[in-house]
């Protein structure tokens, strides 16, 4: 069994659930898994809750980082992410991408992840910038509205300490 995680480049990764977590769950494979992060595009959320949390960050571009940004926001603002092990989701991959990435995929992903780091990682954003020095130079746009959302929702600091 796996749950979602990330690395300091802010890439989503699946990780094997540690034995200690399986023991905590009584080795019951049917109990929902509280996951630190979620994969993008493959989730279900109550519409009113999604709106309350501020929907997607409209300052992010095209694709990349939105799933981790949403994951951090959910956990830090009082919610939980759970993988329901008996659920099944189908995903059809396209042969080609229907949109372009002006400036390249790296620029778009760095833009989005720099926004995520600026709003949600607090003192931990230095780790992100150490792993991605080019992210310091991208124009991430105005993050103040998202920081205000964080204050309005009375979100906790430091996702890693939760």
Q: Is residue 23 part of a domain?
A: yes
* pLDDT one-digit tens code per residue, 60-118: 999 899 999 999 999 999 999 998 888 887 878 888 888 888 888 888 999 999 999 99
Residue 40 vs residue 61, higher pLDDT: 61
Domain that holds residue 118: 2-153
- Say whether 10 sits in a helix, a strand or coil: coil
Q: Is residue 161 part of a domain?
A: no
Q: Tell me if 36 sits within 8 A of 162, measured CB to CB.
A: no
Query: Which domain CATH number covers 82?
Result: 3.90.550.10
Note the pTM of the prediction, 2 decimals.
0.89
Q: Is residue 159 part of a domain?
A: no
How many structural domains compose the chain? 1
At 150, phi and psi to the nearest 5? -60, -45
At 33, phi and psi to the nearest 5? -100, 120
Cα 11 to Cα 18: distance, rounded to the nearest angstrom: 20
Q: Is residue 97 part of a domain?
A: yes
Q: Is residue 162 part of a domain?
A: no
Q: Is residue 129 part of a domain?
A: yes
């Amino acid at each position: 069994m796996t749950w979602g995680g990330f690395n300091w480049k802010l890439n989503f990764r699946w990780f094997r659930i540690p034995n200690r977590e399986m023991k905590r769950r009584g080795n019951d494979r049917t109990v929902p898994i509280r996951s630190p992060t979620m994969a993008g595009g493959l989730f279900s959320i109550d519409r009113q809750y999604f709106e309350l949390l501020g929907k997607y960050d409209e300052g992010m571009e095209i694709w990349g980082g939105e799933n981790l940004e949403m994951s951090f926001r959910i956990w830090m603002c009082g919610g939980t992410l759970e993988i329901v092990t008996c659920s099944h989701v189908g995903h059809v991959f396209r042969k080609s991408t229907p949109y372009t990435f002006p400036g390249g995929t790296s620029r778009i992903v760095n833009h989005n992840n720099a926004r995520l780091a600026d709003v949600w990682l607090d003192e931990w954003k230095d780790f992100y910038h150490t792993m991605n020095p080019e992210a310091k130079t991208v124009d991430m746009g105005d993050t103040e509205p998202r920081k205000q959302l964080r204050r309005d929702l009375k979100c906790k600091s430091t996702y890693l300490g939760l």
